[in-house]
Structure 1
Amino acid sequence: MISGDISIMQSWEATLEVLDLSSNKLTGSFPNLTSQFERLTTLKLGNNSLVGILPSGLGAYSRLSAVDLSSNNLNGPIPSSFFTSTTLTSLNLSGNNFVGSIPFQGSHESELLVLPSYLPLESLDLSRNFLTGNLPSDIGNMGRLKLLNLAKNSLSGELPNEISKLSDLEYLDLSSNNFRGEIPDKIPSSVKVFNVSHNDLSGHVPENLRRFPMTSFRPGNELLILPEGMPAENTIPGPIHDSGNHHSSKASIRVAIIVASVGAAVMIAFVLLAYYRAQLQDFHGRSGFSGQTSERDVKLGRFTRPSLFKFHTNDEPPATSLSFSNDHLLTSNSRSLSGQTEHVTEIIEHPLPGGASASSASTNPNVLDNHPTTSGRKSSPGSPLSSSPRFIEATEQHVRLDVYSPDRLAGELFFLDGSLAFTAEELSRAPAEVLGRSSHGTLYKATLDSGHMLTVKWLRVGLVKHKKEFAKEVKRIGSIRHPNVVPLRAYYWGPREQERLVLADYIQGDSLALHLYGKSLN
């Protein structure tokens, strides 16, 4: 936004033709530039903080066609030169503190203006000021007027019959004034928007105005007799803008429609894709060989690369208890992320009919490539995951879980506040439980050596490109404070592209999906 005193205009080049500084932070009083800017055609300084009285000769520029000084703090009388100009087609002084009468015949008794046979004004908006006096009969000289908005002033007297001469008039708003008497009979049929509510009019509503809704006359006008059968709903559209803004508004609307359409199409495609993937994952999960891991699957001994979890099925009997054993680790140099990976094999046991039991440990080397060995951790038999209906459903077939990850996190850990401190090494050995997975990555619950529980989001590969941008975004999100938002505690940037983590406090509770869909998830 541009700020400063508007008096700086005095030092500008006199060849200026169009001045549009609307919606800025300009201040000060409008300078007297009658002898300057003789080529000026457009003056738009609306929605600023201008004050003071307008120069009396502001409308005397020989080429001036459009003036918009709306939504400022200008005061004093309206310069009569605006209403003697033979070039001005659009005048908008709404939303100011102008006082006095509308100067069709001059604002002072000593000043007598001879009006031309017609005025070229097409749009006149003097609404939301403190204007007083009558609406002069000279309004009939504005034969080209399409918009007349005098709403929210203190105008009084009767409405002149000369309004009927405005054959091109489309928008007439005289609401919130003190007009009295009857409404002229011959308001032009070209009028599409009509509002005289909040006045003291009386008599009958003319026949040609009965097509307008009741809100065009009420509230106010208690003595005005409304015919039966008038539409009650407000069908009045928004105000007609001056012709100088009309084309730009239409272009803006077109651009907005195009952008909204493209955005809606992309959103619909994204929703359909997400729904398809969710259905596919749910089908795989119910079949027992989903490539997904969720809160029903496992409790891992350390953080692992989310996309490298894989399930394999065989024909061995079903089982219920889950454990990890060093006896079933495979050894090879064929596949690794950091030169050393781990392979964890599930052992699943289930009581057989008749009280018998069986156990199996599948380590068939023909199924997968061999991998370097490390030790795995046992999951807690009392974990709530083991009692989850979806977990039991997923383990109806014997499953082997392969996990590949670096032994330890060797990157940098950055904290957003000083209330919690731990090392990347401690995070590496923290027992982790998979809570869920989304398009952004996999969510874990991790328990530090101190017993403090964290929620860790392991971001999907390719989601984060640059460390500086990542840090800036995390800090911005971490600064958000709201009772319903869990604040971020830290983030981790590892040496490998797949090692990007965001950490927050763990909050006990079910997922949003469970609250939304309930038992249908089972």
Structure 2
Amino acid sequence: MKLNNTIIHFFLLLSWFQCTLSSDIQALLALKSSIDPSNSLQWYETDYCKWEGVKQCLNGRVSKLVLENMNLTGTLNSTTLIQLDQIRVLSLKQNSISGQIPQLSGLPNLKSLYLSYNNFSGKFPASLTTLHRLKTIVLSGNHLSGVIPDSILNVKRLYVLYLDDNRFTGKVPPLNQTGLRYLNLSNNQLSGKIPATPVLVRFNSTSFSGNSDLCGNAFNIPCGLAPSPATTAPYRRSHRHRRIRNTVIIAGCAGGVLLLCILIALLLSIMCCKKSQQKSTEFSVKGEKVAAVGDGGGGGGGGDDGEGGFTLEGDDSGVVGKLVFFDGGEGAETGYSLEDLLKASAETLGRGTLGSTYKAIMESGFIVSVKRLKDARYPSVEEFRRHVDVIGRLRHPNVVPLRAYFQAKEERLLVYDYFSNGSLFSLIHAIRCVLIKKPDV
């Protein structure tokens, strides 16, 4: 009798698992039918975890869906989306999806939402304020209106909030989430005095520019005075602004071919000089050229230790590389790839006997520390993989965990969490200097 019960339970569990998988397939196909009338998505394979845009599955369930810049139209349906209840990252940015943003309260695991540069209208989706695991909200470049609700304070883990280039009105909410690091409310119709909360005063006027009736002495936007042109300069240009800029550039090129030829000749001369002074390696990832990390490169950023970062130089060596995350790593949840890492703005944190360390800030706002090893030839590929596998499994309160690594023919990178308190060396020596300082007489 016991055996019979066990068999029954097994088949019930198997039936439930199959129904769950089929629900994800049905949800994806329903989503395709509502936003892909031009059939841009070629979803025909048996394994839907390999479908275009399905970047990750956990236990056979879709956890990361990225459908960006694919000319998608139509509207979103909440009934369809909430069937994907295991999704962590949802990105539909740079499309032409319209209508209101649907209720998403049925996605309790959602951490990152990217719906920027579409044609969404209506009010701020209040259902987002009920998602307690949500960290990233990017709704830039739409037609959203109404007020930004104070209930957004309920999103305690908020890390990125981009609402720029919309039509929001009313006051700026008194945001107080200590984890908030990236904020952009520019180019809306907000008004009143900006709350000078300890969190908001971290940001300068560019986070609030383009709102003519907004003021705040703590943000260099004097109340009662018209904002200066520098204050109202847009912080981020939408796709509409970029189209206007491109039109101006094309018109200027048509009228000044001779000047353009001179500039190109100068640019080629400069590039030749730079190539003669710098050696770099380029490798291929998924058939596209992606640059390696190089000392002295101009990826952006800068600090006390000087500028450095990721370069885009070299010849086609045909070496294939892959960014490998360890179990429990943050890469999959925050939605960054090798290409995102190499396109990140970076600054040199220091150089040691093993290599150089960089602070890399990706477009999504996620920050990591990248260690580029000096000699990528030794040990061998397999031996290196065995070493980092051991290091990647180490977990101790006083040891920074290794989150991911990359290796190619002549490149090896180690990716760690970024800590803003400086290096252990500087902290130890700063304490030592305090201890040995002579008292004033």
User: TM-score normalized by structure 2?
Assistant: 0.41
Higher share of residues assigned helix: 2
The structure with the largest alpha-carbon Rg is 1
User: TM-score normalized by structure 1?
Assistant: 0.35
